[in-house]
Amino acid sequence: MFIGIDIGTSEVKVLLLTSDHTVLGSAGTALTVQRPHPGHSEQNPHDWWAATQSALAQLRAAHPQEFAAVQAIGLSGQMHGAVLLDAQDQVLRPAILWNDTRCAAECAEMMAELPTLTDLAGTLAMPGFTAPKLRWVAKHEPAVFQQVAKVLLPKDYVRLKLTGEYVSDMSDASGTLWLDVQQRTWSDALLALTGLTQAHMPRLVEGSAPGGYLKADVAQALGLNAGIVVAGGAGDNAASAVGMGAVDAGQGFLSLGTSGVLFVVTPSYQPNAASATHAFCHAVPGRWHQMSVMLSAASSLQWVTDLLGAPNAGVVASKAAELSLADRAASPLFLPYLGGERTPHNDANVRGSFHQLSFDTDAARLGYAVIEGVTFGLKDGLAALNAAGSSVSRLSLVGGGARSAFWAQQLASALNAEVVTHGSSAVGGALGAARLGWLATGATQSAVCLSPEVEASYHPNPAEQDLLAVRYAQFRSLYRPA
């Protein structure tokens, strides 16, 4: 039996996995986000620990015998959050989260001061990352900064409560802007940009390696055996990849959630920071991954659903699916930049727009335009990954958008790749976290990192590809920097 703990932004989710790959049960406890000022996003780290204990208690109540037999714990979590601890491990201020945008000026300063930043970190400096948050704290809260003894990521704060150890893994550490991603070690040059040293950092391990052992008092309180291994774990996207069996070069997934993520495993460090992609360490040794991120994916479809007064996004997608190829060709074009864009434009100020509206434009064509615009945004992301040397022939599709067979088919045609969907149990970081815990007991990757059962498979459609090629060229011509 293995437990996966996923420290999300909206909830802590825990999962119980058996050694025959059965998800025996799961539980969750909700979290809230505090926004004390515009652009600020914070959570209290104590809430993560309280929610973890609550979720584990639910799992224990539902499966008492199996819970007591757990051999390992794995951790997954929201990336980039800054947990600041003093010398007594007291939290100095609320954690600044991944979606906090207060430190844009600090990002520009860091890029100017260290021109080699992108070569080391595998990405441009962006407000989501951890390092510029610390630079902001040093500038705006110097009394707090002077007390900082350790900086931890969200899941690693929970690890500290479980094990008493300061440890992080390579994938999550990649999102700090302090890691030399190619060498898989902390970079003194990057740390110096925020006035920190390696003494402020946790020890690094691979995600599938031991990252501490459960303390006796915590084990007793949770109803687990003392000394069981807590794996290094992973950032949420890398953990999701492990859950989907995407651990070898060329494997990957496409997440159609609020945002859109294309994740491709690479055999080496392959950055393309100029196109706003991320090249990070994977959660297993000797592997890296590239990631493109668009900010408004399935959320764009929800936006137009609300605008049209439709009952739900599925209804809008169904109407779009009924359009003929000729009707699709006559539909408007949509730029899906409702909240700015990351890959490939790195343009926080650009906004979405419809083009070629006419009296013939109806709800179905508007819905189609939005779905297609998001597809083209993801195609932009894949082109950026291809430019850095990635290739992919098959992608697992997860997230809310995976429920639309029409959208899955369009993605297969646009990306020229097989797109497959899986059952809901394959979604999320908790399964990957449990698998990393399993690996930390000495199990082999080939036995643990299996691909989940395929529910449906979609292949490129030549007729649809011809239509999309023409419209994609038009789409590409419409972007104008803000």
The gap from C-alpha 457 to its chain's centroid, in whole angstroms, comes to 24
The annotation status of 79 as a binding-site residue, yes or no, is yes
Helices (H), 63-140: 64-68, 104-113, 117-121, 130-140
In the DSSP assignment, the letter for residue 351 is -
b/e for 225-254, b at 16 or more Cβ within 10 A? eeebbbbbbbbbbbbbbbbbbbbebebbbb
Residue 340 near residue 348, CB atoms below 8 Å: yes
Residue 201 near residue 190, CB atoms below 8 Å: no
398 SS3 class: strand
Cα torsion for 68, 70, 72, 74, to the nearest 10°?
A: -90
462 SS3 class: helix
Instruction: Please pick, among 236, 248, 306, 380, the residue that the annotation labels catalytic.
Output: 236
236 is catalytic: yes
The annotation status of 459 as a binding-site residue, yes or no, is no
Gap between the Cα atoms of 218 and 59, Å rounded: 16
64 SS3 class: helix
The gap from C-alpha 424 to its chain's centroid, in whole angstroms, comes to 17
Using alpha carbons, select from 62, 51, 47, 65 the residue that is nearest to residue 5.
51
Annotated binding site: 79-80
> Binding site membership for substrate: which residues?
79-80
- Positions annotated as catalytic residues are 236
